[in-house]
Amino acid sequence: MKKADLLLLITALAFLSFGLYGFLRPEIVPALRLYTLSPTAGPGELRAYYGDFELGFGAFLLAAALTPRYREPAHLAAALTLGIIACGRAIWVARGTEPTAPLLLSAAAEIALAALNLYAFRRAKRLARNAAER
């Protein structure tokens, strides 16, 4: 298994594990993210994003790790998704949210995985271009 495939697997497992947690226990997510929501609409919204979306995206990344033709776009999708999430956290802090340890740890993991996936995407593009030129 190549390093890039392993990276996709790690990224997929991160999304799948958090998605499963958000799907099964949506009421716990606000405590992890340090905010509160309406008791009537909150759990459904949390389950939809932190559960359903993350499970679906994690499944896509897992399928891509096992399917060569999907790997390159999956790296780009992971880099963009994680980068945008990290930007959202930065905006949250810039608007006055205290940068707590869970928030900083989440942002660090998102930035690291976004950068690694972007690197893997660019490397795959470069290798494909070099192979085409030969």
- pLDDT of the residue at 37: 56
DSSP secondary structure of the chain = --HHHHHHHHHHHHHHHHHHHHHH-GGGHHHHHT----TTTHHHHHIIIIIIIHHHHHHHHHHHHH-HHHHHHHHHHHHHHHHHHHHHHHHHHHTT----HHHHHHHHHHHHHHHHHHHHHHHHHHHHHHHHH-
Query: Residue with structure tokens 């606000």?
Result: 30
- pLDDT of the residue at 117: 96
Q: 27-86, pLDDT tens digit by residue? A: 666 555 545 555 565 667 767 777 788 899 999 999 999 998 999 999 999 999 999 999
Angstrom distance (rounded) from CA 47 to CA 21: 9
pTM of the shown model: 0.82
